[in-house]
Amino acid sequence: MVQHPVRLATRADARAAAQLLHDFNKEFDAPTPGPEVLAARLARLLDQGDTFAYLAGSPAVGIALVTLRPNVWFDGPVALLDELYVRPDLRGRTIGTDLIRAVADYCRELGVDFLEVNVDEGDKDALRFYVHHSFALRQPDTGERAFYLTRALG
């Protein structure tokens, strides 16, 4: 029996999802606008259709948040796994694996050909997790390391 079943989030789940996202940032001392602001933003994004989330458990103990975008190289959209978080006291119990599998399955249903995730270089546990789930640290055709660069515009 699955102790923390995974389900596709709806607008009604925005508050619970936002609390998990807030907790994630607080755990790593990253800035957060707070759960109320996140809930409002998430509700809007979920309504637009190019963002979806999966929650694990009831009450929710884990979240996977994904945005979709068009891309010239693929017929379907490309998916970015924006966040994957499981409460620290419940890690190592396959909840993250269940979430990533649900995301991958749903992406396939949506015609997504490519799933991306950004990981900080120092986050060895996350890197190991994603490599275990078939994400590549190196370009398969060249063997070169893959990088993701950002630039703040605000």
3-state secondary structure the chain: CCCCCEEECCHHHHHHHHHHHHHHHHHCCCCCCCHHHHHHHHHHHHHHCCEEEEEECCCCCEEEEEEEECCCCCCCCEEEEEEEEECHHHCCCCHHHHHHHHHHHHHHHCCCCEEEECCCCCCHHHHHHHHHCCCCCECCCCCCECCCCCCCCC
Q: What is the pTM of this model?
A: 0.93
Residue 1: per-residue pLDDT: 57
CATH code at 6-132: 3.40.630.30
CA–CA dist 33, 27 (Å, integer):
14
Q: What is the spatial distance between Cα 30 and Cα 105, in angstroms, rounded to a whole number?
A: 30
* pLDDT for position 71: 94
pLDDT given at position 72:
95
For residues 105 and 116, give the distance between their C-alpha atoms in angstroms, rounded to a whole number: 14
pLDDT at residue number 134? 94
For the record, the structure tokens of 75 come out as 């017929």
Which structure tokens are listed for 98? 């269940």
Over the chain (154 residues), what is each successive 10-residue block's mean pLDDT? 89 98 96 98 97 98 98 95 98 97 98 94 92 91 86 86
Domain ranges for the chain, please list them: 6-132
